A = this chain, B = another copy of it.
Amino acid sequence: MIEDRHITLAHGNGGRRMRELIDEVFAYHLANAALDVCVDAVPLALAPDMIPFMTTDAFTVQPLEFPGGDIGTLAVNGTVNDLAVSGATARFLTLNAIIEEGLERDCLDRIIRSLGNAARAAGVQVIAGDTKVVPRGQGGGLYLATTGVGWRAQDCSLSMSQIRSGDVILVSGPVGDHGVAVLLARQEFELKGDVSSDCAPVTNLTSPLAAMAGVRFMRDPTRGGIATVAHEIARATSMTVRLDEAALPVRPAVRSVCRILGYDPYYLACEGRVAAVVAPENAEEILHIWRALPEGEEARIIGVVNSGNARVVLTTEIGGERILGELEDDPLPRIC
């Protein structure tokens, strides 16, 4: 008897095959004390005296697997990191999987296993989920959506509204690794390179800063890259964000790929970096904290926020100035 190792529409119908898929793949890899696949909704065990926080993200990256991660690690870390940069600690995730008919079951199994490992590494439990199967030619193999709940201390006041003229901008490591790793994994161009995604939880970077004096705001530069974070700050504060090209860390391999293909690395996604806006007098202390961590070794001060027009200016390495415009056409679709 030939066993079919592909996902069929019947895996999404609510009946026997769906139950088996959930038991054998999802419940198997995501197992934890709080996951009960037979209930409609689950209780949330929250911490007293902390403020619960919530966030959500969908993931449509192509290809599903790439050096340094896959859509599963991305779905965990993307949501964990949105809570982390808000000063919150992620504790619970829900997971939606929209699976395309014909996806290899082994591929689904690898991705959900890796999602389970990423959840354990980030300290979160997957407590609820849902799967749907869409017909062949109406999906991208697998789309995921995760929603995260965590909590933050009462005394944390991180917010763009805290940003003051003269504040400096730090980044925890090189930018653009994730974007270029995914781009190379697509093999659309005759390019090979040794670039891995930076996909990782940023909690170790954010938690020491969450309630620290002088830390105004943090964000992870994902879709749209560090340039888009700079634009969001400029728009929200009506101030000028000035980035220093000489200080901005970009790996040589990332820079080469960008030069060949005409991409600007400042618009490419990271999935394990933090940009922080801090008071100038606290910048060195924060750099010191970050550089003591493996994930923050290459942290740098990369720019400054000053009163002026709402715009983003790049001071180039030869001393000139270039306006970094708002991202218009998509340089690189389906990066996350």
Whether B54 contacts A42 by the Cβ 8 Å rule is yes
Whether A86 contacts B39 by the Cβ 8 Å rule is yes
Give the number of times this chain occurs in the complex, counting copies: 2
Check if A239 is an interface residue, CB within 8 A of chain B: no
Q: Which residues of B are found within 8 Å of A326, using beta-carbon distances?
A: 15-16
Whether B147 contacts A331 by the Cβ 8 Å rule is no
Whether A94 contacts B147 by the Cβ 8 Å rule is yes
Q: Which residues of B are found within 8 Å of A16, using beta-carbon distances?
A: 326-328
Which of B40, B96, B132, B140 meets A86, CB within 8 Å? B40
Which of B54, B58, B152, B222 meets A14, CB within 8 Å? B222
Check if A209 is an interface residue, CB within 8 A of chain B: no
- CB of A7 to closest CB in B, whole Å: 12
Whether A83 contacts B134 by the Cβ 8 Å rule is no
Check if A306 is an interface residue, CB within 8 A of chain B: no
Which residues of A3-39 have CB atoms within 8 Å of chain B's CB atoms? 9-10, 12-17, 38-39
Query: Chain A: interface secondary structure?
Result: mixed
Which of B14, B97, B327 meets A327, CB within 8 Å? B14
Task: Known A143-B98, A327-B16, A333-B135; judge A52-B44 contact (CB<8 A).
Answer: yes
Q: Which residues of B are found within 8 Å of A138, using beta-carbon distances?
A: 138-140
- CB of A85 to closest CB in B, whole Å: 5
- CB of A265 to closest CB in B, whole Å: 15
Whether A96 contacts B236 by the Cβ 8 Å rule is no
Whether B145 contacts A96 by the Cβ 8 Å rule is yes
Stretch at the interface among A111-119, A123-131, A181-189, A278-286: A123-131
Whether B333 contacts A9 by the Cβ 8 Å rule is yes
Q: How long is the Cα–Cα vector from A85 to B222 in the complex, in angstroms? A: 37
Whether B330 contacts A96 by the Cβ 8 Å rule is no
Check if A263 is an interface residue, CB within 8 A of chain B: no
Which of B13, B82, B147, B329 meets A56, CB within 8 Å? B147
Whether A53 contacts B42 by the Cβ 8 Å rule is yes
Check if A224 is an interface residue, CB within 8 A of chain B: yes
A97 and chain B: residue at smallest CB distance:
B58
Q: Which residues of B are found within 8 Å of A232, using beta-carbon distances?
A: 38
Check if A46 is an interface residue, CB within 8 A of chain B: yes
Which residues of A246-281 have CB atoms within 8 Å of chain B's CB atoms? none
Q: Which residues of B are found within 8 Å of A135, using beta-carbon distances?
A: 333-334
Whether A13 contacts B327 by the Cβ 8 Å rule is yes
- CB of A237 to closest CB in B, whole Å: 11
Which of B51, B94, B327 meets A15, CB within 8 Å? B327
Whether B329 contacts A40 by the Cβ 8 Å rule is no
Check if A43 is an interface residue, CB within 8 A of chain B: yes
Q: Which residues of B are found within 8 Å of A140, using beta-carbon distances?
A: 134, 138-139
Which of B51, B58, B128, B129 meets A43, CB within 8 Å? B51
Q: How long is the Cα–Cα vector from A160 to B41 in the complex, in angstroms? A: 13
Q: How long is the Cα–Cα vector from A253 to B127 in the complex, in angstroms? A: 40
Check if A205 is an interface residue, CB within 8 A of chain B: no
Q: How long is the Cα–Cα vector from A16 to B228 in the complex, in angstroms? A: 9
Identify the interface centre among A17, A41, A51, A96: most chain B CB within 10 Å of its CB: A41
Check if A149 is an interface residue, CB within 8 A of chain B: yes
- CB of A168 to closest CB in B, whole Å: 20
Going nearest first, the 3 A-B pairs with the smallest beta carbon separation are A15-B327, A14-B224, A14-B223
